[in-house]
Chain A
């Protein structure tokens, strides 16, 4: 690796892109404002156009066209990666993804694949307001033929499972199209090595719907049997991890945290296994409440477990726009205190 050490999720993703472009000339990165010295709006692509000028293509503001073009490139054997500057803009690519890229394999009866990778940052808490702060991935969950992934900031010193390694695997090896959901605040999070996680037991299971994606189960070592299962991904998983620790040390409420990186297709065996023991499930997501990821997780867990699921809850963003004003913005999004309050309510007040 050229450049500085890999400390954050952003470093890791940047490194994953660097390695992908270095290892395979078929990999091409397309998107808006990618060229150095700017290197993309959130700097995930920084340095790449200097190192690989032929493989980084800066584009006009044409999300639909660029994504459709990436679909055509993939059908003809390239490995295109599209950077969508803000996750809010994935509405613009929906026809390209749903009616074209995700369908080619099935509708052409297995004779063609379009392994396009679409990366984009979701999430608020940056004061960007109603159209640059949303988490819209729920609209792309459950699209047949599309895999949706969200990295977690774990295992920085392991080649497996880091955000950048996951991204590189997807770019170079996936035979399916992938929406790779990043998060603006997650970019700045440090990668947690095994040493950082010394007080936790961490189990990793690899899902594989076209690309191997890790699913993590975290619990505090030597803790009593957990009484609630938390399920969250991406930046919300980071908040949930902090909440789980505080609940244990300050309130003696013990939880397990399930963190999938593969959001779709749904692979929830570890959630089922955990809830079988705890009986309670709380999902946390940054998208709006109705018909979201949590709704599907709870529904599938209820179908699988029947009355062994005694209690279920969902935390999500308030239904409405995300305001610019910092206090209003924070109030509209689920935070760690919301997680703690909801867990306490579920454990104490509903038996």
Chain B
């Protein structure tokens, strides 16, 4: 069981990484674009804290938080985003296409659900005991392959936890313009037991994910977890069309870092901030100093 300080440390590491990334994007050292995990940090930390070493993670375009919560190295991620040979994938994959140990991400919607299902089938067949965690967004629900895979995941009882991060917006399109019917019932229609949680609080997500991961592991069977969450940043950079008032209100009510910060004493809080700020700054500078890249 991780204590409040450690949970905060993990949350704030993602926050700080993404903040530095967005700040430094202006300087031109990062090619292309990026999708940050601002506001969704507690999903990554709360779920991935329960993994065993052999477990597999499949993520999507918004994967930095998942990668860091999995234990990925911030310096290697900065270097990857800079397009450097010292990056996670040598600068080839960039923001959306990471692979390190048992962590895989990719940038086309829907296909990652199939990847995750296939990996879970492999782990089940080889009786490795490992499970797969697959992160998807509400926008992904528009892709047909998702439903092909939900069918097979249930049919073959694959050991996968499907984590739907429902931030209610896909790029600029609110889910009210894209999703008909019930989201949880999509999973339930295939008889995948589904839990819905509307929270950005790590203390809600963390214990619930522990229970679900235990069930997936013990029963070698799927579970779905829909977390209603808030994207506190743009889809990528500077492409947020939501009204300022909407974002402001989300920041006030749904910021997982602010929610958890309140549980730490002032000195404890400040110490974590100081440590992580220094760690991320050092990771950034070391990545920048390495050879290659756009800078």
Contacts and interface: CB of A to CB of B under 8 A. Distances in A.
A173 B108 CA distance: 29
Interface string B96-113: 010110001010101101
Contacts of B113: 68
B272 interface: no
Contact of A72 (B90, B99, B122, B126): B122
Given A60-B152, A112-B99, A72 B92 contact: no
Most central of B90, B110, B111, B120 by chain A CB within 10 Å: B111
A72 B108 contact: no
Given A60-B148, A99-B108, A107-B97, A73 B118 contact: yes
Nearest to A64: B145
Given A65-B152, A68-B117, A71-B114, A109 B122 contact: no
Given A71-B118, A72-B116, A78-B122, A64 B56 contact: no
Contacts of B119: 72-73, 75-76
Interface in A76-100: 76-78, 80, 95-96, 99-100
Interface string A100-112: 1000101111011
Given A65-B117, A72-B117, A77-B126, A108 B99 contact: yes
Contact of B118 (A60, A70, A106): A70
A74 B148 CA distance: 19
Interface string B16-43: 0000000000000000000000000000
A76 B155 CA distance: 20
Interface string B201-212: 000000000000
The DSSP consensus for interface residues of chain B is helix
Contacts of A65: 114, 117, 145, 148-149, 151-152
A62 B144 CA distance: 10
Nearest to A110: B90
A244 interface: no
B118 A62 contact: no
Interface in B209-265: none
A143 interface: no
B121 interface: yes
A108 B155 CA distance: 30
Interface string B27-70: 00000000000000000000000000000101000000000000
Nearest to B101: A111
B148 A64 contact: yes
Nearest to B156: A57
A100 B145 CA distance: 13
Contacts of B148: 60, 62, 64-66
Most central of B97, B100, B119, B122 by chain A CB within 10 Å: B122
Interface string A157-199: 0000000000000000000000000000000000000000000
B115 interface: yes
B123 interface: yes
A75 B103 CA distance: 11
A28 B155 CA distance: 17
A69 B93 contact: no
A62 B145 CA distance: 8
Contact of A62 (B56, B115, B116, B151): B151
A57 B122 CA distance: 13
Which 5 residue pairs of A and B lie closest in terms of their CB atoms, listed nearest first?
A72-B118, A68-B114, A65-B148, A76-B122, A69-B118
Interface of B: 56, 58, 89-90, 92-93, 97, 99-100, 104, 106, 108, 110-111, 113-123, 125-126, 144-145, 148-149, 151-152, 155-156
Given A65-B117, A70-B118, A96-B111, 18 more contacts: A60-B151, A60-B152, A62-B151, A65-B151, A67-B114, A68-B113, A72-B119, A75-B115, A76-B118, A77-B122, A78-B126, A100-B106, A107-B89, A107-B106, A108-B99, A108-B104, A109-B90, A109-B99
9 contacts: A57-B156, A64-B114, A64-B144, A65-B117, A68-B111, A68-B114, A68-B115, A76-B118, A100-B115
